[in-house]
């Protein structure tokens, strides 16, 4: 019930933004900026770009204020914009990589992903870090739409209807995307469940 009230509140805020209330936009930005950044980061694994794309998301939200209609949950609409921008960035990066030669080095300024570990034992910390890195790589290897669906389902805890709205497809298509994604992840990460006896 409180979730429905919050969703209703977001839609009301956006309607006020449509009517020219910039304070309501500031509230929406404050409320949703961090979840949007986290979602984009999980999609693209680059913090600086995630923050940049989040700014673009809210710029688009603001530019769309005059035509906003609360036909879906505000978060569904917001994540449709977010997913669209993230998928476009991924597509553009793939096109850029195709143009680079296979023997070229990594772009200057890119650093390996740092994973904070709270484990006192160094060996356990390294194993945990390696497992998390492998899981991230497996998710990154999924086709773009499957990856977006998994991110929304697992990390944003969105339901099928919301994911369908964000991806612009049917609920059955979302179920199919998630089924294929989880099957692929299960197969690729099966060895992690076998233990470390090998």
Residue extent(s) of CATH 1.10.10.10 domains in the chain: 119-198
Closest CA to 177 of 157, 151, 196: 151
* Residue 69 confidence (pLDDT): 86
φ, ψ for residue 107, nearest 5 deg: -55, 145
> Is residue 38 a contact partner of residue 47, using CB atoms and an 8 Å limit?
no
* Residue 5 confidence (pLDDT): 57
> Is residue 17 a contact partner of residue 68, using CB atoms and an 8 Å limit?
yes
* Residue 85 confidence (pLDDT): 93
Q: What's the token pair of residue 85?
A: 């921008």
* Residue 56 confidence (pLDDT): 94
* Residue 116 confidence (pLDDT): 47
Task: Please give the class, per CATH, of domain 1-98.
Answer: mainly alpha
> Is residue 115 a contact partner of residue 133, using CB atoms and an 8 Å limit?
yes
Complete DSSP assignment for 12-78: HHHHHHHTT-HHHHHHHHHHHHHHHHHHHHHHH--HHHHHHHHHHHHHHHHHTGGG---SS-HHHHH
Task: Please give the class, per CATH, of domain 119-198.
Answer: mainly alpha
> Is residue 85 a contact partner of residue 56, using CB atoms and an 8 Å limit?
yes
The pLDDT tens digits along the chain (198 residues) read 455 555 578 999 999 999 999 999 999 999 999 999 999 998 888 899 999 999 999 999 999 999 988 888 898 899 999 999 999 898 888 777 766 644 454 455 555 444 444 444 677 667 777 777 888 888 888 998 999 999 888 888 888 998 998 898 999 999 999 999 999 988 888 877 665 433
Q: What's the token pair of residue 67?
A: 């035509």
Dist. CA 68–CA 77, nearest whole Å: 10
* Residue 108 confidence (pLDDT): 53
Q: What's the token pair of residue 62?
A: 């603001």
> pTM for this one?
0.65
Residue extent(s) of CATH 1.10.1740.10 domains in the chain: 1-98
* Residue 122 confidence (pLDDT): 72
């Amino acid at each position: 019930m409180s979730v429905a009230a919050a969703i209703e509140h977001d839609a009301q805020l956006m309607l006020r933004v449509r009517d020219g209330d910039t304070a309501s936009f500031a509230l929406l930005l404050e409320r949703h900026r961090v979840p949007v950044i986290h979602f984009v980061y999980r999609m693209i694994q680059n913090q600086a770009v995630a923050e940049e794309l989040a700014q673009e998301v809210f710029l688009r939200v603001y530019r769309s204020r005059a035509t906003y209609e609360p036909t879906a949950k505000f978060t569904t609409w917001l994540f449709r914009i977010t997913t669209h921008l993230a998928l476009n960035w991924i597509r553009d990066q793939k096109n850029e990589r195709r143009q680079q030669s296979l023997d070229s080095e990594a772009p200057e300024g890119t650093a390996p992903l740092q994973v904070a570990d709270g484990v006192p034992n160094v060996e356990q910390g390294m194993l945990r870090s390696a497992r998390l890195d492998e899981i991230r790589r497996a998710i990154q290897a999924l086709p773009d739409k499957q990856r977006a669906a998994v991110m929304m389902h697992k990390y944003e805890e969105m339901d099928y209807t919301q994911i369908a709205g964000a991806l612009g497809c049917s609920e059955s298509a979302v179920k199919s995307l998630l089924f294929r994604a989880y099957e692929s992840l299960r197969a690729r990460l099966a060895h992690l469940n076998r233990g470390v006896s090998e």
